Amino acid sequence: MRTSHRYLDPAALSRLGGMELVARLVVEGFITGRHKSPYQGFSVEFAEHRQYMPGDAIRYIDWKVYGKSDRYYIKKFEEETNLRAYVLLDASGSMNYKYDDNGITKFEYACYLAASLTYLMLKQRDSAGLAVFDTHIRQYIPPRGAATHLHAIMSTLESIQPGEETSISATFNELAKRIIRRGLVIVISDLLDQPSEVLSALKHFRHRKHEVIVFHLLDKAEMTFPFEGPVVFRDMETDSTLSTQAEVLKVGYLEQLGEFIQAYRRGCGASLIDYVQIDTATPFDYALSSYLSRRK
């Protein structure tokens, strides 16, 4: 289900500044536009005990159980049993592209989308974490469910800048080894890498029993190729250039783009990965709807 709130427009929201403010406006506007709230059935009631492990908060030790058993046990609450989500954000150089000077870059859109999803998940009492990558993992924030965790993620999103070339498959394989506890992996990327290698790495997450949703983010110009006449294209990651007539490339480019997107759509479908192709002009409520449908 899509809504049509003007304040969900990515370019308009980008002028507000402040990740947390934008995320709150997007999510609360999205909720207002739905007939039924997605926030149901969550609580922080006591669920069960588990044995104390180094790093656990001492305040959750059940001292009555300790008095009877002489062993440390932690009170485990329902909040801990809810979803753990890992947002994997592509910060490679190609994400810094935008065609329209009045628009926003793919990376800016991706950051607002990551912020909105994080805000939504924490509001649901889920746990959310963030991994920012290009050729390697640049930032990793493990999932937590505390409201104060929002500030740590927002601060990271506001400070990070697109950087180097892309090495999606190697990074995903590394993250799949690091992310031990089963959860939801949300990828936000332009996926400008070899589809076969990226899909193989995404399967690594599925092999470890994670649910996976992929937001394949492209600029509108990358989808339509609006260029005309003599043009110089510059690779934003390697800085190499190509001078040509736009008409010479258009048909072949659009054909290859279609094959590129279809490779991801088919590959994700075959591995039960939710694939959402989206451009930077699309309102955020579409992405949030896709996320919630995946949760259901």
pLDDT band at 77 (very low <50, low <70, confident <90, very high): low
Q: Domains along the chain?
A: 6-39+82-295 (3.40.50.410), 46-78 (no CATH)
The model's confidence at residue 35, banded by pLDDT at 50, 70 and 90, is very low
> 36 pLDDT exceeds 50?
no
Q: How confident is the model at residue 71 (pLDDT cuts 50, 70, 90)?
A: confident
What does the alpha-carbon distance between residue 200 and residue 194 come to, in Å, rounded to a whole number? 10
* DSSP secondary structure letters along 135-168: SSEEEEEEEE--TTHHHHHHHHHHH----S---H
Whether the CB-CB separation of 132 and 89 falls below 8 Å is answered with: yes
pTM for this structure?
Answer: 0.81
Strand, helix or coil for residue 247:
helix
The pLDDT value recorded for residue 101 is 85
Residue bearing the bigger pLDDT, 258 or 79: 258
Instruction: Give 283's DSSP letter.
Output: -
Q: Which helix (H) or strand (E) element contains residue 115?
A: helix 106-123
